[in-house]
């Protein structure tokens, strides 16, 4: 299985022809690129060296990806959770299918995918496209996906303490990644938000906050901006530090609730990187688990 994060772009050079994969393009790093158009232009450079014999694997459910199809000379294979595609991978009646010039092939049940979240269904569909283009047999693709385990800091299950589940999604360094994390849980979420702002609009979180979140715990330099943009949608706890946020969420959470670190921000105000932030989260949770056992 080709594993890439929700916003990472990869070109596979090991094989010929070359395959470029774009999972989605959503606003990020606007503090550096200034506009979404400039950010999209930077991402589109993945196609610069592609030729007609190459392949581009694109998300048919993402409008920006659809627009990118005109910017590559390669043959486009699509993936979609929402509709059938003529060439690529898609979901129908709870099953994943692959289709190319040789016809349609069933790959696996959606329920067999071991990762949480609709975005991971999209990741799997992209991987199915790549596997099919590499002439992998359907059963080999299915087995690889079924055996795959989540990467550290990406919607990573950490522990269950007194009936409360803890998840580390420190890699959710932008708003869209936080949306995808929240969509993975139906309700009763205690959400930790904050860090170094990247010019993001946090108001787009408000509908999901109303629907699925019990409390938001803000940390870091972006706390004030986040609080001003989500005010009135959900109870907000100004926690300042990650350790304080985890402990306050643990004190408030009830059995069946979720404590989720999906900060929608970079980590560089308080941490060396998002990996370090995720490790700190897990260390605090481990301490809470030890206290519960004693």
Q: State the pLDDT confidence band at 118, using cuts at 50, 70 and 90.
A: confident
Q: Determine contact, residues 189/257, Cβ cutoff 8 Å.
A: yes
Please state the rounded mean pLDDT for residues 86-101.
95
Q: State the pLDDT confidence band at 159, using cuts at 50, 70 and 90.
A: very high
Query: What residue spans of 14-152 are helical by DSSP H?
Result: 30-33, 36-44, 63-68, 118-133, 138-147
DSSP 8-class letter at 205: G
On the question of pLDDT at 246 being above 80, the answer is yes
Please state the rounded mean pLDDT for residues 120-131.
94
On the question of pLDDT at 193 being above 70, the answer is yes
- Write the CATH number of the domain with boundaries 9-147: 3.40.1190.10
Q: Determine contact, residues 146/112, Cβ cutoff 8 Å.
A: yes
| Torsion angles phi and psi, residue 236, rounded to 5 | -120, 135
Q: State the pLDDT confidence band at 244, using cuts at 50, 70 and 90.
A: very high
156-293: CATH topology: 3.90.190
Please state the rounded mean pLDDT for residues 44-59.
92
Tell me the pLDDT tens digit for each residue of 167-179: 999 999 999 999 9
Domain chopping of the chain, boundaries: 9-147, 156-293
On the question of pLDDT at 39 being above 80, the answer is yes
On the question of pLDDT at 11 being above 80, the answer is no
On the question of pLDDT at 158 being above 90, the answer is yes
Say what the pTM is. 0.69
- Among 25-34, 62-71, 156-165, 226-235, name the one with the lowest average pLDDT: 25-34
What pLDDT does 148 receive? 87
What pLDDT does 34 receive? 81
Q: State the pLDDT confidence band at 101, using cuts at 50, 70 and 90.
A: confident
On the question of pLDDT at 269 being above 60, the answer is yes
Mean pLDDT value across the chain: 91
What is the spatial distance between Cα 3 and Cα 293, in angstroms, rounded to a whole number?
35
Tell me the pLDDT tens digit for each residue of 281-294: 999 999 999 999 98
Q: Determine contact, residues 178/170, Cβ cutoff 8 Å.
A: no
| Torsion angles phi and psi, residue 226, rounded to 5 | -60, -45
What pLDDT does 17 receive? 75
What pLDDT does 16 receive? 64
Tell me the pLDDT tens digit for each residue of 219-235: 999 999 999 999 999 99
| Torsion angles phi and psi, residue 9, rounded to 5 | -115, 135
What pLDDT does 43 receive? 87
């Amino acid at each position: 299985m080709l594993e890439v994060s929700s916003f990472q772009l990869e070109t596979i050079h090991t094989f010929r022809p070359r395959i470029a994969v774009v999972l989605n393009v959503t606003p990020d790093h606007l503090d550096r690129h200034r506009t979404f158009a400039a950010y999209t232009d930077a991402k589109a450079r993945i196609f610069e060296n592609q030729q007609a014999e190459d392949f581009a694997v694109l998300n048919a459910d993402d409008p920006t990806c659809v627009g990118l199809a005109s910017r590559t000379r390669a043959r486009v294979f699509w993936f979609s959770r929402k509709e059938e595609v003529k060439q690529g991978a898609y979901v129908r009646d709870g099953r994943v299918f692959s289709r190319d010039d040789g016809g349609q092939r069933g790959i696996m049940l959606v329920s067999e995918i071991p990762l949480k979240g609709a975005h991971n269904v999209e990741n799997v569909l992209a991987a199915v496209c790549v596997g099919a283009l590499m002439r992998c047999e359907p059963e080999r693709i299915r087995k690889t996906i079924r055996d795959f385990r989540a990467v550290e800091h990406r919607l990573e299950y950490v522990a269950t303490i007194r009936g409360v589940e803890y998840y580390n999604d420190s890699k959710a360094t932008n708003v869209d990644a936080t949306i995808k994390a929240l969509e993975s849980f139906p309700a009763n979420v205690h959400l930790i938000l904050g860090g170094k702002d990247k010019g993001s609009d946090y108001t787009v979180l408000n509908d999901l906050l109303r629907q699925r979140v019990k409390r938001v715990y803000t940390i870091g330099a972006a706390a004030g901006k986040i609080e001003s943009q989500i005010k009135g949608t959900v109870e907000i706890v100004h926690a300042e530090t990650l350790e304080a946020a985890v402990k306050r969420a643990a004190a408030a959470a009830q059995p069946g609730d979720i404590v989720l670190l999906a900060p929608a921000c970079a980590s560089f105000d308080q941490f060396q990187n998002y990996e370090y932030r995720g490790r700190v989260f897990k260390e605090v949770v481990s301490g809470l688990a030890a206290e519960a056992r004693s």
